[in-house]
Amino acid sequence: MSTTPKISIIMPTFNRAGFIMESVASVLRQTYTNWELIIVDDGSEDHTAALMEQICDNRVRFYEAGKVGLGIKLKNIGIELSSGELIAFLDSDDLWADDKLEKQAAALNDHPDAGFSITGGYNFLKPGDPLEYFYKQREGMLVDNIYLLFFQSGASILPQTLMFRRECLPVIHKYIKTHPYSDVEFVLGLALAYKAVILYEPLLYRRLHANSFSTSNWEYGYREGIAVINRHRQQGHLSSSMADDSLFRLYIHFGEDYLKNKKRMKAIHVFIKAWGYKPFSMVPVKKTGKAILKG
């Protein structure tokens, strides 16, 4: 890899006219300049296309894919149109720190044995006003095999933080073919195949709003997580004890989110599910008691 490799940024979008120009601006502000941005539109019905005509930078390309409907397939269309040595993803309502590309490219250059990199970040409602950070640690790095960390709450699976080498594409394509509905699986596939660099610094700013996938589909996200853990246990990648620990934590968080959304009976149900994975833990008992008292 050259010392200043070209980075292909893939941005899937659908009806994000209210946010996409901010997301594009966060790419245009990057201190690292050898990049291309490929925006893949999923048949937007707003004025996204008209906004794209206002961008005067030949590094930015807008591709109208028609109605595809699957984020992973939109990403793959962008990959097929790309030419960079490194590939990154950004959602069309999220933002990057100005030096995100520079720092990840440098990390991968310094660690040629790593196939990919992920970063820290935070969720926000108002730009510049963090709500919650992805990691307690906000500086430094880790270079290691991180597959198990994803199941130990030690690493976050967010493709918007990801940067990977083009030679990793066979792994990406394998998981696009076998799990076309899941961003999670191809990130885990990368972690099974390659070492990674985690940059703990918050370099992704993930916007929360009424129409964001993470806000409107949070229950689906938990169910997908349950299915992924069970699948990786069955495949032999996760020990039963680690899978049980992961499911315990996931069900506890699931119940807490049900309580936040005033779904008390569903919260109680998933707290009881959590108890089944750690019958000697008092945490589900206390959480269940709290949910009952809220009634």
What per-residue confidence (pLDDT) applies to 295? 65
pTM for the model: 0.91
Domains parsed from the chain with CATH numbers:
7-213 (3.90.550.10), 217-294 (1.25.40)
What per-residue confidence (pLDDT) applies to 214? 56
What per-residue confidence (pLDDT) applies to 226? 94
> Angle CA(166)–CA(187)–CA(113) in degrees, nearest 5?
50
What per-residue confidence (pLDDT) applies to 182? 77
Beta carbons of 270 and 251 less than 8 angstroms apart: yes
> What residue ranges of the chain have pLDDT lower than 50?
none
